Chains A and B, each alone.
Chain A
């Protein structure tokens, strides 16, 4: 089977590299307003586990198409000879700097690559394109024209008329905002160029679809992990005896807020990585945490127990010791030992707790006063965070790798509105369990992840 190879060719600055970046999902493709940014042909193979299914080649744009065509026309020959004439042109001008761009873009075509000719459909057709289209026709390679809608104008009609004279297939494709389905449709359209290319392209599409589903699933998992971590997050701080209370509380609340922002940022970065964005710049308002939601509770702890738990433990210990005495005297004490033991144990625990807490073991005090903030009790908080996360994920998923602008995430208006009653109930159950922190288990995360994936599939999370 012949491996499908497509050379993306055309006038400079008409979005060839953008189309390659979008189809290859490669943000490293150099895209610039300066003509001639792509100086050499560069291959973008789609490889699945070591097997190359197709190859895209980004090429430099035509620079002296009229002169090149005139050279070719000057060679005597019939239509049958035209591909050979093109080959001769490349061979004779390989070392000629004047035709470097033409030679580099024509070379892959001479090796059998299909032609993807790119024009800007937002600008009018001009006579200057005819020479390059004619050269491409001379190569005799299967070809497809892509009308890339770069700007706001719409000259698709006149372009379709002009391109229709040179290319059998003409498609409109916006490299900047083509969603995944449009990219897949375009790949399948490439299969129309040559019958024997179709199976490889269909396999490529299957692999891409499987990868897209996996990405969504991984993104849902990452969001679920982040959301759960943000809800259950708690920040604690030991309170020195001499420290003033309120400034310490404010410090703790500020640190807690920073933690949440950092967690959300990490999640964003990881979701972007799942979609192959490593250097994406983001502009987004920080997650809002109202002070009223942040109650900084002060508790006393020793061995990780609160004072009440410690007294109960002391009482039980005393009761057990007293019970032994009861047993030792053969029950003659009428369980007095147990009762007194419980009392002494409880009181001792209460009375000596502070002194024991001050004792340092291996340089660390055994207990003392402690301030803690979290977990987040606001019932709207998870929906706000989830809404923001889903919004971000959708924007990243829909973004193409041709886009170089920062990802601007507008402020989400309020909390996420979940349409389905069942879905809402299920989510609320999970959030309630997380808030209580009494029932943390992986299944909760699995359920949350599945619910989020369901919301993604439903597609009602798209930005307006």
Chain B
């Protein structure tokens, strides 16, 4: 049941996707799916996931039939820039079928016409007719069977490859390649390009299908010619051989050949009398020599046998191979569909619950202007200055470790005070007041480099600047404990302090930088 929330076009599409899976529809699907998946790569993955899962939910009844699901998807999906070329390919496929049928029909008619050519001077030798119309066909069927054997046998794989170029179906493939604009390029997805890995068996059976189509119509052409010649001319058949083949042996051979239809059409089994009477030797006078016991009309009595032989060993097997090839092509096309590059991912999107963990929409970010390190102030005034040292957030617990760094920077500690950390804001205010009273030339605030510059730290600096009447330089000293201070840490601090726009606010790294 299609949810009513679906657009009208999609509901119509749902009705269509239940149509049967024939050659033509599968071929069309294969072409469309190949192009759709390629075009769809340009669509954002998240959009694809949501779109495909929504479609997939309407196709859950077909979950066990991936090819049907894919068809359903093809009929529902809309992809920007995607052109459906399946129908064009199928049209060419039908045209090629007609071309091969006409070619087969003509070839059959022509060959039968040549074989049954009878001027009245010499009767038609049944051996020749049997040889070409029956034995050659059986031989070709055996070759076909060999060429279509399972590919897992390595010896047969080579043979198949050698026999492959004898397929009349190659003609169709070649013609398709000549008409790229009329569906040829679409049809080529079956045997060319990226899909070959999955479409190779379908391509092989499609070639076989075309060949069997040609052969089936060839046999129809033969029969049509035979019936035409029988209806509108007189034919006389006889047989002749140099071998020591007795009439009885030949009759026995014919009975074996006629076994498939002897019950069905007894009249199409040559009688012993016919066999005996239609043997001839060219040294004897006349077409059938002195031994002829039958009239010309009776010699024409071989035709039911000939027709039955063509039907039994030509037409019917070819019909069977045609149906087998049709079915195998259909099977392999259906098998190839869910294995096309990109199709397993599509099926996963159709059938797996859509799991999203990401946030929707763009993230709101703080409006911090990125600053290149070289332009990022403030910087240290490196002249030696006597300073009051403020330890921010228990940094003075490590006073001994700080001494060397301060000395290296030329800072002469006058007094040591604390702020931040576990102290209250009231205590911070008292520290600010104390700093304003100090006579030292500058204030150096030691802070942990690995901690970010919080707004409460900036509050402290601003309070210091606002409350002290004397404008003294403030030096922020980054302390990295045993690890030193990284460039990223100092850049972060520099960028943040820059927001205060205080020309007498400086930053320096205490101890070794990393």
Q: Which of B174, B194, B367 contacts A229 (CB 8 A)?
A: B194
Q: Render B138-162 as a binary contact track against A, CB cut-off 8 A, 1 for contact.
A: 0000000000000110100110110
User: At the interface with chain A, which of B225-233, B243-251, B447-455, B500-508?
Assistant: B447-455
Smallest CB separation, A68 vs chain B (Å): 10
Place the interface of chain B in its size category.
35 or more
Interface flag for A414 (CB, 8 Å): no
Given A39-B366, A40-B364, A330-B122, the answer on whether A442 and B452 have CB atoms closer than 8 Å is no
Known: A228-B197, A331-B127, A440-B201. 13 other contacts (CB 8 A): A42-B359, A49-B353, A98-B455, A120-B450, A127-B393, A214-B348, A276-B358, A303-B174, A326-B128, A438-B160, A440-B196, A442-B197, A445-B198
Interface flag for B424 (CB, 8 Å): yes
Q: Assess the B354–A331 pair: CB atoms within 8 A.
A: no
Q: Render A422-464 as a binary contact track against B, CB cut-off 8 A, 1 for contact.
A: 0000000000000010111110111000000000000000000
Q: Assess the B354–A48 pair: CB atoms within 8 A.
A: yes
User: At the interface with chain A, which of B73-81, B334-342, B437-445?
Assistant: B334-342
For B161, the chain A residues whose CB sits under 8 A away are 438
Q: Which of A103-126 contact B (CB under 8 A)?
A: 120, 123-124, 126
Smallest CB separation, A42 vs chain B (Å): 5
**In the complex, A450 Cα to B455 Cα: how many Å?**
56
Q: Which of A222, A303, A445 contacts B197 (CB 8 A)?
A: A445
Q: Which of B131, B178, B454 contacts A361 (CB 8 A)?
A: B178
Q: Render A277-294 as a binary contact track against B, CB cut-off 8 A, 1 for contact.
A: 010000000000000000
Instruction: Select the residue from A70, A124, A214 with max chain B CB neighbours within 10 A.
Output: A214
Q: Assess the B481–A130 pair: CB atoms within 8 A.
A: no
**In the complex, A151 Cα to B194 Cα: how many Å?**
46
Residue in B closest to A270 when the chains form the complex, CB atoms: B345
**In the complex, A432 Cα to B485 Cα: how many Å?**
57
Q: Assess the A46–B132 pair: CB atoms within 8 A.
A: no
For A39, the chain B residues whose CB sits under 8 A away are 364-367
Q: Assess the A221–B335 pair: CB atoms within 8 A.
A: no
User: At the interface with chain B, which of A18-26, A171-179, A378-386?
Assistant: A18-26
Q: Assess the B197–A126 pair: CB atoms within 8 A.
A: no
**In the complex, A153 Cα to B448 Cα: how many Å?**
15
12 CB-based A-B contacts, threshold 8 Å: A12-B452, A34-B366, A43-B359, A44-B358, A49-B53, A65-B456, A66-B424, A98-B455, A214-B348, A278-B45, A304-B170, A327-B131
For A316, the chain B residues whose CB sits under 8 A away are 166
**In the complex, A46 Cα to B355 Cα: how many Å?**
7
Q: Assess the B114–A324 pair: CB atoms within 8 A.
A: yes
Q: Assess the A124–B481 pair: CB atoms within 8 A.
A: yes
For B173, the chain A residues whose CB sits under 8 A away are 304
* A interface with B by C-beta (< 8 Å): 11-13, 23-26, 28-30, 33-40, 42-50, 61-67, 70, 98, 101, 120, 123-124, 126-128, 130-131, 151-153, 207-208, 210-211, 214, 217-218, 221-222, 225, 228-229, 232, 273-274, 276, 278, 303-305, 309, 312-313, 316, 323-324, 326-328, 330-331, 361-362, 364, 436, 438-442, 444-446
**In the complex, A228 Cα to B195 Cα: how many Å?**
11
Q: Assess the B456–A67 pair: CB atoms within 8 A.
A: yes
Interface flag for B264 (CB, 8 Å): no
Q: Assess the A37–B355 pair: CB atoms within 8 A.
A: no
Residue in A closest to B491 when the chains form the complex, CB atoms: A33
Q: Assess the B393–A126 pair: CB atoms within 8 A.
A: yes
Given A34-B495, A48-B353, A362-B178, the answer on whether A128 and B451 have CB atoms closer than 8 Å is yes
Given A11-B452, A36-B368, A151-B483, the answer on whether A304 and B174 have CB atoms closer than 8 Å is yes
**In the complex, A210 Cα to B439 Cα: how many Å?**
69
Q: Assess the B197–A34 pair: CB atoms within 8 A.
A: no
Smallest CB separation, A11 vs chain B (Å): 7
For B124, the chain A residues whose CB sits under 8 A away are 330
Smallest CB separation, A404 vs chain B (Å): 13
Q: Which of A12, A34, A442 contacts B368 (CB 8 A)?
A: A34
Q: Main SS of chain A's interface residues?
A: mixed
Q: Which of B166, B196, B357 contacts A25 (CB 8 A)?
A: B357
Q: Assess the B425–A67 pair: CB atoms within 8 A.
A: yes
Q: Assess the A208–B111 pair: CB atoms within 8 A.
A: no
Smallest CB separation, A277 vs chain B (Å): 10
For A151, the chain B residues whose CB sits under 8 A away are 450, 483
Q: Which of B336-385 contact A (CB under 8 A)?
A: 336, 339, 341, 344-345, 348, 352-359, 363-368
Q: Assess the B352–A214 pair: CB atoms within 8 A.
A: yes
**In the complex, A127 Cα to B104 Cα: how many Å?**
95
* B interface with A by C-beta (< 8 Å): 45, 53, 111, 114-115, 117, 122, 124-125, 127-129, 131-132, 151-152, 154, 157-158, 160-161, 165-166, 170, 173-174, 178-179, 194, 196-198, 200-201, 240, 335-336, 339, 341, 344-345, 348, 352-359, 363-368, 393-394, 420-425, 448, 450-456, 459, 481, 483, 488-489, 491-492, 495-496
Instruction: Select the residue from A26, A66, A324, A327 with max chain B CB neighbours within 10 A.
Output: A327
Residue in B closest to A71 when the chains form the complex, CB atoms: B425
For A48, the chain B residues whose CB sits under 8 A away are 353-355
For B160, the chain A residues whose CB sits under 8 A away are 438
For B122, the chain A residues whose CB sits under 8 A away are 330
**In the complex, A128 Cα to B395 Cα: how many Å?**
11
Q: Which of B115, B127, B454 contacts A324 (CB 8 A)?
A: B115
**In the complex, A309 Cα to B198 Cα: how many Å?**
26
Residue in A closest to B116 when the chains form the complex, CB atoms: A327
Closest 4 CB pairs of A and B: A127-B422, A35-B452, A440-B200, A26-B358
Smallest CB separation, B413 vs chain A (Å): 22
**In the complex, A38 Cα to B363 Cα: how many Å?**
8
Residue in A closest to B132 when the chains form the complex, CB atoms: A327
Given A35-B492, A438-B157, the answer on whether A123 and B353 have CB atoms closer than 8 Å is no
Residue in B closest to A14 when the chains form the complex, CB atoms: B452
For A11, the chain B residues whose CB sits under 8 A away are 451-452
For A330, the chain B residues whose CB sits under 8 A away are 122, 124-125, 128
Residue in A closest to B368 when the chains form the complex, CB atoms: A34
**In the complex, A440 Cα to B422 Cα: how many Å?**
73
Q: Assess the A313–B339 pair: CB atoms within 8 A.
A: no
Residue in A closest to B426 when the chains form the complex, CB atoms: A70
Smallest CB separation, B328 vs chain A (Å): 12
For B451, the chain A residues whose CB sits under 8 A away are 11, 13, 123, 126, 128
**In the complex, A255 Cα to B492 Cα: how many Å?**
47
Q: Assess the B355–A34 pair: CB atoms within 8 A.
A: no
For B488, the chain A residues whose CB sits under 8 A away are 33
Smallest CB separation, B283 vs chain A (Å): 13
Instruction: Select the residue from A36, A210, A313 with max chain B CB neighbours within 10 A.
Output: A36
Smallest CB separation, B68 vs chain A (Å): 18
For B45, the chain A residues whose CB sits under 8 A away are 273, 278
**In the complex, A373 Cα to B491 Cα: how many Å?**
54
**In the complex, A328 Cα to B129 Cα: how many Å?**
10
Q: Assess the B425–A70 pair: CB atoms within 8 A.
A: yes
**In the complex, A227 Cα to B367 Cα: how many Å?**
47
Smallest CB separation, A265 vs chain B (Å): 14
For A278, the chain B residues whose CB sits under 8 A away are 45
**In the complex, A418 Cα to B173 Cα: how many Å?**
41
Q: Which of A35, A210, A228 contacts B453 (CB 8 A)?
A: A35
**In the complex, A445 Cα to B114 Cα: how many Å?**
50
Q: Assess the A64–B158 pair: CB atoms within 8 A.
A: no
Residue in A closest to B128 when the chains form the complex, CB atoms: A327
Instruction: Select the residue from B173, B201, B363, B394 with max chain A CB neighbours within 10 A.
Output: B363
Smallest CB separation, B508 vs chain A (Å): 19
Residue in B closest to A439 when the chains form the complex, CB atoms: B151
